[in-house]
Amino acid sequence: MPEKPKLYLIDGSSYIYRAYYAIRHLSSPKGFPTNALYGFIQMLLKVVKDRKPDHLAVVFDAGKLTFRNEIYPAYKANRSAMPDDLRLQIEPIKEAVRAFRIPVLELPGFEADDIIGTIACDCEKKGMAAVIVTGDKDLMQIVTDSVTLLDTMKDKASGPAEVVERFGVPPERVVDILALAGDSSDNIPGIPGIGEKTAIKLIQEHHSLDQLLENASVVKGKVGERLREFADQARLSRRLATIECNVPVPYSYGDFAASPPDNRLLGDLFREYGFTTLMKELTSVATLSSDDYRTILSAGDFSALMDKLGTQSIFAIDLETTSLNPFEAEIVGISFSFSDHQAYYIPVAHHYLGVPDQLSLAHVLQALRPLLLDPAIKKIGQNIKYDYQVLRRAGIEMEGIWCDTMLASYLLNPNRSSHGLNALAVELLDHKMISYADVAGSGKDQKNFAQVEVEKASIYSCEDADATWLLHKLFLPQIEESGMERLLFELEMPLVKILAEMELYGVKLDLVLLQKLSAGFGSQLAELEREIFQCAGTTFNINSPKQLGEVLFEHLQLPCGKKTKTKTGWSTNVDELERLAAEHEIGRLILQYRSLSKLKSTYTDALPKLVYSESGRIHTSYNQAVTNTGRLSSSEPNLQNIPIRSEEGRSIRHAFIAEEGCLILSADYSQIELRVLAHLSQDRVFCDAFAKDEDIHTRTAAEVFGLFPGMVTPEMRRQAKTINFGVIYGQGPFSLAKELGVSTKVAKEFIDNYFDRHAGARVFLDGCVREAEAKGHVTTILGRRLPIPDINSTNGNIRSFAQRNAINYPIQGSAADIIKQAMVRVSGRMRREGLKSRLIMQVHDELVFEVPLEEKLTMEKLVCHEMENALTLRVPLKVDVNFGSNWSEAH
């Protein structure tokens, strides 16, 4: 028997709310809220991709008032107003549906459920099937063999059997359950005191609401009394809960036939709201012409290319290699572009059956060497640090590294979801790049690039070089217009080579010490486990939040915090454990266990595995285009998070050692963020304290508490330090109270007293918020623009978070500018003076060097001078310099 024609009806109103609450806050580059829009589109795509419907439509509520309000004015009266940031997204959601060329249905006076019910019932009459995509249980009342529900979020379909399983009655009796139990979300009164379980039992016994009400006199107890008293209210509730399946909605089944989306409209919408990934997946096509891409196979062609390259003052370069790891990568080919839509690929190491003859890598590199070493010829690349490192290992230390399109993108919009070439090409060139998987395959079938056919590799690599060339021409005028040329050309680009060399050199580890530490941590964990089990009176998996929650709050029956039990179990996060630790020993022990376990797994066990066999060192990757504030981050391993406050954390830093005959030098900026605040705000008290080299936290305590500095106690200084840094992070009374362990009232008094004494800081910080509100961004000392897109959000919590960022970003970003400037100055001096010392790490406000013993005094003076003079501020920069045989000793 042939399958019935099928129509998918998507309950748009239900999915709008589900999308809104399912996805954390998102916003467009301009600050427009997009979480519901993005979530709705993803839900829509799931239906389209998974179900491939031939016919579909999306149905929305047309407004709040319907015929039900005429029957019962209090219908849905208890519902809170739609959140402002959600209301803004309703029309864009409908625009997106229309751009997908899916019909949008709505009818004033009726709810989406009524339109869905009418069309679904009509489909059944005409011998068709309807699938209603919703999470609304009310629609179960219209389920039949031909009308089913589909909840894509739970991946669950519901027919008549599933309705019986859910409600214990067939679909046509579901409305009777709703009539008795009511619905608080819709303000349907039902019968007081009768919940869903009782309603189900009553309808199962009496078969229908009408029969139940007729037999109400035989129902005993309070239930019977309420049935008799509220019979009319039950009938009203049934009317309100009943889906109207005969509304005057004009439609034709043919109108619902699936059509290809309007990629132009979708592309405009995705671009406006910053949905780069969706642009790449759905709307992009290949727009760059490959007609002028050339593959260089012969000596004659190579010679002609060299003649052209020799006349260029600037070109884009891109390497194709066997690995993303620069320590393992072998060059397979090199591409160049120096004119729009023109590019050249030189294959040198492809090997497969039938591969054409290629020029040798040695010959090509030898010929390119003078060009690559010429600092007057400007090189452009996308993540050019990688290309530099691969060439460096091949014996060429490329000079003239001028523009990295990834970094230009980052400077212009650090909030951009991706600065990768594919994403940038989609967003800015309206071009879908050939993916690596397109040429090399994916998964277990993926080829090494050397095995990719030269013809495919050539177009792929030429396209990369061409797109990089085109992007740099788009970015540089914007960099100039935004006043960030100095940042790009004098800070970020010189830093590329410095970071590349740091990564290549790496850091030496004491593997024997790490092994001992790991064993020691293991013993401590075993002892902690024994103590925890003893406190609990049972054994369980401490690393399982579910089991831990059950032991703490069910077995031991400890008082739970604000977060009660959810579908996923009890909350056992750090805040909850810290609350318990104040009163119960087991909370303290579990916190210790978690901390030690993380140190063991993340560092003492993991670090030795990251040591590169050829160098015997670890080689972290420094990321210039990740954080919102301009600070560097690092990965594999993440050096920024190695703890220093605990004894166990410091012991890990002991494993970072110097080569024999060398020392570790640690140079750490002292209170750089407070000094930046003093400079930017010109606050009198801050500037005076730093000019006199006073202890800033003692001075702050004296100001806040109205004492002479000599009267300040260690506790007062601790509180002042917390306040000082709290101000930088835009902390309010509630958060400060929690951190200080005082009441909110006391914390507010501290903040008020603080700003009474630091009027300059208050004016500056308020000005940061106003600047963000007016311009959508704040700036650092060197003019780095840091977007604050949510500063004018209608959502109070989101706006408050944005205001805190507006306060914090200029200070954090300026500190980032200073440490980067210091790296450039110090590295330049070391290179000019021919020193053997090496910069090996950058962590927060600290630079770490490996210094030969004979250069100890020279480096101490050099590093201090260059770091303290990295930028000229209104207050002096101060650097603490220390030496040691390992990082911990030197810190």
**Residue percentage of the chain with pLDDT more than 70:** 99
Q: What is the DSSP letter of 446?
A: P
Q: In this structure, what token pair is assigned to residue 501? A: 């060399």
Closest CA to 288 of 111, 436, 467, 160: 467
CB 411 within 8 A of CB 421: no
User: Taking 60 as the threshold, does the pLDDT of residue 564 lie above it?
Assistant: no
Tell me what the mean pLDDT of segment 695-721 comes to.
87
Q: What is the largest CA-CA distance in the chain?
A: 104
CB 644 within 8 A of CB 890: no
pLDDT of residue 563: 53
Tell me what the mean pLDDT of segment 175-201 comes to.
86
CB 778 within 8 A of CB 806: yes
User: Taking 70 as the threshold, does the pLDDT of residue 567 lie above it?
Assistant: no
Tell me what the mean pLDDT of segment 563-580 comes to.
73
Cα 105 to Cα 102: distance, rounded to the nearest angstrom: 10
Residue-wise burial string across 842-879, b where 16 or more C-beta atoms lie within 10 A, e elsewhere: bbebbbbbbbbeebeebbbebbbebbbebbebebebbb
Q: How sure is the predictor about 67, in pLDDT bands with cuts at 50, 70 and 90?
A: confident
Residues comprising the chain, all counted = 891
Residues 275-303 pLDDT 10s: 888 887 777 777 889 999 999 999 999 99
Residue-wise burial string across 670-694, b where 16 or more C-beta atoms lie within 10 A, e elsewhere: bbbbbbbbbbbbebebbbebbeeee
Burial class (CB in 10 A: 0-12, 13-18, 19+), 788: buried
Cα 790 to Cα 798: distance, rounded to the nearest angstrom: 7
Q: How sure is the predictor about 155, in pLDDT bands with cuts at 50, 70 and 90?
A: confident
> Which domains does the chain possess?
6-256 (3.40.50.1010), 288-482 (3.30.420.10), 528-613 (1.20.1060.10), 673-813 (1.10.150.20)
Tell me what the mean pLDDT of segment 730-750 comes to.
85
Cα 759 to Cα 703: distance, rounded to the nearest angstrom: 12
Q: How sure is the predictor about 568, in pLDDT bands with cuts at 50, 70 and 90?
A: low
Tell me what the mean pLDDT of segment 219-245 comes to.
86
Q: What is the DSSP letter of 700?
A: H
**Residue holding tokens 């009782």?**
198
Q: Rounded to whole angstroms, what are the CA distances from 203 to 126, 198, 209, 797?
A: 31, 9, 7, 45
Give residues with Cβ within 8 angstroms of 219, minimum separation 6: 202, 212, 227
Q: In this structure, what token pair is assigned to residue 881? A: 């310099």
Tell me what the mean pLDDT of segment 13-39 comes to.
89
Q: In this structure, what token pair is assigned to residue 40? A: 């709705």
CB 729 within 8 A of CB 810: no
Cα 308 to Cα 324: distance, rounded to the nearest angstrom: 30
Cα 48 to Cα 54: distance, rounded to the nearest angstrom: 9
Output the CA angle 601-603-607, nearest 5 degrees: 110
DSSP string, 494-549: HHHHHHHHHHHH-EEE-HHHHHHHHHHHHHHHHHHHHHHHHHHTS---TT-HHHHH
Q: How sure is the predictor about 750, in pLDDT bands with cuts at 50, 70 and 90?
A: confident
Terminal-to-terminal C-alpha distance of the chain: 79
User: Taking 80 as the threshold, does the pLDDT of residue 103 lie above it?
Assistant: yes
Tell me what the mean pLDDT of segment 500-510 comes to.
96
**Residue holding tokens 């100890």?**
856
Tell me what the mean pLDDT of segment 310-332 comes to.
96
Q: What is the DSSP letter of 76?
A: T
Give the dihedral sign, CA 544/545/546/552: positive
CB 267 within 8 A of CB 430: yes
Cα 805 to Cα 123: distance, rounded to the nearest angstrom: 54
State the pTM of this model: 0.85
User: Taking 80 as the threshold, does the pLDDT of residue 2 lie above it?
Assistant: no
Q: In this structure, what token pair is assigned to residue 577? A: 């454990």
**Residue holding tokens 């949008």?**
104
Residues 248-265 pLDDT 10s: 888 888 889 999 998 889
Helix (H) or strand (E) holding 6: strand 6-11
List the single range of 57-71, 99-113, 608-622, 767-781 with lowest mean pLDDT. Answer: 57-71
- 755 against 662, higher pLDDT: 662
CB atoms within 10 A of CB 451: 17
Tell me what the mean pLDDT of segment 653-680 comes to.
95
Tell me what the mean pLDDT of segment 625-651 comes to.
88
Helix or strand or coil: residue 343?
Answer: strand
pLDDT of residue 34: 93
Give the dihedral sign, CA 839/842/847/850: negative
Cα 532 to Cα 593: distance, rounded to the nearest angstrom: 9
Residues 450-482 pLDDT 10s: 999 999 999 999 999 999 999 999 999 999 999
Average pLDDT over the chain, rounded to an integer = 91
Cα 677 to Cα 93: distance, rounded to the nearest angstrom: 43
Residues 804-841 pLDDT 10s: 999 999 999 999 999 999 999 999 999 999 999 999 99
- 213 against 625, higher pLDDT: 625
Cα 96 to Cα 591: distance, rounded to the nearest angstrom: 47
User: Taking 80 as the threshold, does the pLDDT of residue 569 lie above it?
Assistant: no
Q: How sure is the predictor about 223, in pLDDT bands with cuts at 50, 70 and 90?
A: confident
SS (H, E, C) 127-150: CCEEEEECCCHHHHHHCCCCEEEE
**Residue percentage of the chain with pLDDT more than 90:** 60
Q: How sure is the predictor about 350, in pLDDT bands with cuts at 50, 70 and 90?
A: very high
User: Taking 80 as the threshold, does the pLDDT of residue 660 lie above it?
Assistant: yes
Radius of gyration of the chain (CA): 33
pLDDT of residue 650: 87
User: Taking 70 as the threshold, does the pLDDT of residue 597 lie above it?
Assistant: yes
CB atoms within 10 A of CB 573: 10
Long-range CB contacts for residues 539-547, cutoff 8 Å, separation at least 24? 542/590, 542/593, 543/597, 545/569, 545/570, 545/572, 546/570
CB 402 within 8 A of CB 314: yes
Residue-wise burial string across 248-283, b where 16 or more C-beta atoms lie within 10 A, e elsewhere: ebeeeeeebeeeebeeebbbebbbebbbbebbbebb
Residues 408-452 pLDDT 10s: 999 999 988 899 999 999 889 989 899 999 999 988 889 999 999
Closest CA to 516 of 384, 643, 651: 651
Q: Where are the alpha helices (DSSP H) in 395-510?
A: 405-412, 421-424, 436-440, 454-481, 485-486, 493-505
pLDDT of residue 225: 81
pLDDT of residue 561: 59
Cα 388 to Cα 382: distance, rounded to the nearest angstrom: 11
Q: Is the peptide bond before 261 cis (omega within 30 degrees of 0)?
A: no
Cα 517 to Cα 656: distance, rounded to the nearest angstrom: 13
Cα 333 to Cα 345: distance, rounded to the nearest angstrom: 7
